[in-house]
Amino acid sequence: MSAAEVVVTGVGAITPLGGTATELWDGLLAGRSGVRRIDELFADFPHGDEIGTRIAAPMAVDPASLMERVQARRMDRCEQAAVVAARQAWEQAGAPEVDPVRLATVIGTGIGGLTTLLGQDDALESVGPRRVSPLTVPMLMANGPAAMVSIERGAQAGVYTPVSACASGAEALAQAARMIRAGEADVVIAGGSEAAIAPLTVSAFGQARTLSTRNDDPQAASRPFDVDRDGFVLGEGAGVMILERADFAAARGATVLGRLAGYGISSDAYHITGPDPSGAGQARAMLAAVASAGLQPQDITHVNAHATSTVVGDPGEAAAVQRALGDQVVLTAPKSALGHLVGAAGAVESIITMKTVAEGVIPPTLNLHTKDEKIELDVVAGEPRTVNLAAALCNSFGFGGQNVSVLFTA
């Protein structure tokens, strides 16, 4: 067993489908949606009635309820979510006994402590500087989730925070695997966290015309690959994996859940929000992940698609997948059930992808009634599909032209 091999020994998640990774998986297989109306968010907000989108996918469980009250008050919601997911993953991994200088943390986020920033700005403007919390900066800074997890576990091999928009969580996993392969750490706590459902973000994404406005039917709003899709649904949550050097995990008798066998990162250098319409950058990321795993494109028969339910993004990704890997690939799109978790999306969906390979079951894409004719690949819809997979890719693409693909094997 090669020392460069990276294995997964624990996972944790808090998402719109539940407070654990098990609830996430069970909810996907059952075809549940975590999208709902969020009218309460705008109840006391000036001009709230002018905001066109009234739906989102909040975490099903308040992360603050899963930790001590005093501790929770000292963290932003995205930090709370990261700590909760990391605790779950660490426990499932059997609380590895590892030298602190060989333990690292890599937790990505796209936006960071937005709710803290907005809340403290309100306090400043309405009451004055004496009402601004002295904990404001550590609660709003983007590296807060990674730092909080690192402090709790005493991880001293480095604490890193990829901030690459919607690719942040996947990039964190890639960075963690790279550290292990390079011999910089034996164990890495890696993933992504996001909690940025607020009037500002909903308004901003709405003004950019990227959000669904299917307010009267929230659970049918996120419709990746469907001809009637009209934008994504903003979600929140966190996903964390415990990654280990394979021989280190074997020596301590750890149960291996799967293998992070490859990763690929590329950039479009095309547009700040729109993907390169040629799909070349996305294809390069996928092919790099395949090569990193020592596989061939024809070995990949399943891709967990980034597929946010936007008019341009979905067919572009499908074409890029087909271009890179061939016609044999079967797609699924968990954002149909979860909404778009932004910086946490890649980490949460990597857990789903790894579970798909391990269980031999692909969760269905919800709300796919009439597939867009531009989508030539097979998309799992309706019911879960039993398959025999040797490997699968998870795609995450972000504003700024950032493309990340992570490859899992059993």
Determine the Cα angle at 94 with ends 292 and 62, to 5°: 90
Nearest-CA neighbor of 112 among 174, 165, 65, 38? 165
Centroid of chain to Cα 259: 18
Nearest-CA neighbor of 234 among 81, 342, 134, 307? 342
Tokens encoding 196: 């940025």
Nearest-CA neighbor of 195 among 341, 54, 336, 338? 341
CA 395/CA 308 separation, integer angstroms: 11
CA 148/CA 314 separation, integer angstroms: 35
- Specify the length of the chain in residues: 410
Tokens encoding 315: 């067919």
Tokens encoding 225: 């690959």
CA distances for 92 relative to 9, 195, 242, angstroms: 7, 24, 9
State the virtual CA torsion across 154, 160, 162, 163 in degrees, nearest 10: 80
Report the Cα–Cα distance between both ends of the chain, in Å, rounded. 14
State the virtual CA torsion across 282, 286, 287, 289 in degrees, nearest 10: 140
Is 78 catalytic? The answer is: no
What is the CB neighbour count within 10 angstroms for residue 308? 25
Q: Which of 78, 98, 157, 166 is catalytic?
A: 166
Residue type, 196: A
CA 31/CA 19 separation, integer angstroms: 17
Where do runs of H (alpha helix) occur along 154-207? 168-181, 199-207
CA 382/CA 367 separation, integer angstroms: 8
User: What count of Cα atoms within 13 Å lies in the side-chain half-sphere of residue 304?
Assistant: 33
Q: Which residues contact 167 (CB under 8 A, 6 or more apart)?
A: 346, 396, 397, 398, 402, 403, 404
Which residues are annotated as catalytic? 166
